[in-house]
Structure 1
């Protein structure tokens, strides 16, 4: 007989091997969620440690390795987590939000600048962020962080 409280549901956390992703995964487990853990294959050992901590909290972990910047990997991560833990109720996507908002901006700036240099006529790169890039909001920490990153990239690119 298990003494664990019944699960509030299943959460999937990307970038869960360390840092904020790890902290989010552990907090979700403490709050009563079973947790699908994702990170790159090179972080498998670290994810095993997080999984052990989640098990010690009375929750069920599932490790799904893969690069979340690849669509097929994301589909596989989510489907295998559902197969193993039963459903999906929460997705924490730290890596994905930063990739979409900050990395994509950097890549656009980089390749636009290279093309403009190649053309030899100069040009303008206009970056847009949001008020969240100037003022952080408690319930939008990740979004705010990604918009602060865009603001910093834009300022640095203009130097």
Structure 2
């Protein structure tokens, strides 16, 4: 039996990167997993590619299209998952965006775009998952994706930093409110992770003059990592599976740093 056998899980932002890795690791440990993303076609391909993995782990896999800032879409995603799996036990609010801009150039549009997806999207995901779990009557787990940027500000990604500070605050607030329903709320904070999102950030930083060549930004951001290298998604999933499993049942309101020792707080 896997560590999360029989648990019905949703992972948003699961078409690639950390989200996809979280979902695949859950499948390896026996969970039923809904891979959800705004890119319906890509996330359906990811779910299809994991059919054999799901069978091998003893779980089931499906996909759902969702805009995490749209409450009705989030409700529909949860309903679709419950129809397929019979319940919802674990909800990963992982979907996130970034668009670097130099601090003095940050626009209202840039701020709203990032804060809506990373902040409002997290809040709506927590609320709707909690409502489903309360209706079921047997508790559950909500896990939010923060960042090293939730612990300190960086000059070229100020709205992103603010949005991830919001994720930490929402995690704490949700933990306090939902404890009476036996729902735990935790989070994890990755550092520099080699994913498609970082590839785009690298390109964006060059476009705004914050880097001169490909890879420079990652090198500079990761120079102080005590482990001596950037993370891969697989470095993250040991913690995320733990946060979905019964072994973390006594944890709530906490955000676990997974940054190789880049930020010591």
> Shorter-chain-normalised TM-score: which range?
0.5 to 0.7
Among 1, 9, 21, which residue is 1:11 paired with? 9
CA distance in 1, matches of 2:50, 2:152: 28
Secondary structure of the structure 2 residue equivalent to 1:62:
strand
Alpha-carbon distance between aligned partners in 2 of 1:28 and 1:4, rounded to the nearest angstrom: 9
| CA drift at 1:147 | 2.3
Q: Write the distance in 1 (CA, Å) between the matches of 2:144 and 2:34.
A: 22
**1:149 positional shift:** 8.7
What TM-score comes out, normalization by structure 1 length?
A: 0.60
- Distance in 2, matches of 1:112 and 1:15, equals 22
The one of 136, 154, 158 aligned to 2:158: 154
Alignment partner, residue 110 of structure 1: 107
Query: Over residues 3-46 of structure 1, what are the superposed CA-to-partner deviations in whole Å (9 max), with x where a residue is unaligned?
Result: 99993311101122222111101111222211111122131223
Which string of whole-angstrom CA distances, capped at 9 and with x for unpartnered residues, describes residues 111-152 of structure 1?
289xxxxxxxxxxxxxxxxxxxxxxxxxx9931245269534
Unaligned runs of 5+ in 2: 111-142, 160-204, 211-265
Structure with greater helix share of residues: 1
What do you get for the CA RMSD once the two structures are aligned?
3.8
The partner residue of 1:22 within 20, 23, 30 is 20
Aligned residues: 123
TM-score (norm. length: structure 2): 0.38
Bigger strand share: 2
